[in-house]
Amino acid sequence: MLGGTEGRHLYAFHSPFTRKRGLKEKKSGTLGAAKGECLVDCVYSFLFFLIFHFSASPLFDLCFFFFFILGRGAATMEADHLLLWARCRRFVGDVCAGRDATHGLAHMETVTGNALLILHMEHGGATCSSLTISRVILVAMLHDVADHKYDAAGRLIQQVRKFLEAEKGAITAAGMDSEEALSHAFTTIEAISFSKEKQQCMRWFEAKLPSDWVFVRDVVSDADKLEAIGEEGLRRCLMYTMHTLVIREGRQGWDAVVQQRCLQGVKEHFVEKLSRPSKEFIVTAAGKFLAAPRHAAMERVLQEWESQGLPSFV
């Protein structure tokens, strides 16, 4: 449980309804209206308390996103952001059609939601700039489109460049050169890659990006790594491993040999990648807070799979 300034920032928030009512109450000055505002704040605080303490559950994460973004930060989300997100959705859906769920549209949508949540948590009571929100949406939605596992020929990366070119107005600050903004956006997308940060030095991108783009990178990178860990992240890893064995290698059936190979692949992936993000690669305070219960859940589920076998949904 958080205390001090961090705790106050997380718990102190108001719904749009509370804000509107507060303006009316200032005019009326009625004690009853003030009590009403207090009651609404208590209800929202209680809901947030539940979400806060059950944050390892995907269902509560969804509620957390709903109440936090729509309740506390709705004024910062504009129609242009939703339109940008919709354009990204169409592009990613078309380009990534047929992919397994681990690197497809659903994954990138989830990362975008996580990134917006982290963005608002990191800003505390302050309002996020419209430009920052647009950059986060664009980078989060595009970060896996040209993943090296799917783009050996380099065609997808060219499609990403073309899409970024069309959307450069959404990410270019006033007085800034649009080509420079495009270059920063592309470098930021590259910097989300976990494997690239392992291959190069840690924080390699800081020498190439200004601080505002480094912040965008950290927010989206943390969101991506949150999606990689926890029970759902472990299941995504299992799905990808199964897809590789059954589809790419042509394995038939789901016999004991295939199951054992899948489990071994998941265990190796856990040691090499999944166990590291929360300790080494997640950098924002909000990201670390959200990662802790996921990491614990991941260790518990892996132990269950080793002792009881893989889940029946497979």
| Residue 11 CB coordination number (10 Å) | 13
Distance CA 69, CA 84 (A): 17
Residue 83 has pLDDT above 70, yes or no: yes
pLDDT in tens, 121-140: 998 756 689 999 999 999 99
What is the pTM for the complete model shown? Answer: 0.70
Nearest Cα to 121, choosing from 257, 205, 11, 40? Answer: 11
Residues 252-272: tens digit of each pLDDT: 667 788 888 899 999 998 988
% of the chain beyond a pLDDT of 90 = 45
Lowest mean pLDDT among 51-60, 145-154, 287-296: 51-60
Which has the closest alpha carbon to 187: 220, 155, 154?
220
- Comparing CA positions, the residue from 220, 244, 14 lying closest to residue 117 is 220
Q: What is the pLDDT of residues 15-67, one digit of tens each?
A: 333 333 343 334 444 455 444 544 544 544 444 444 444 444 444 454 445 44
**What is the DSSP annotation of 259-309?**
HHHHHHHHHHHIIIIITSIIIII--SHHHHHHHHHHHHHHHHHHHHHHHH-
Q: Find which of 7-11, 149-153, 175-179, 214-218 is predicted with most confidence, using mean pLDDT.
A: 214-218
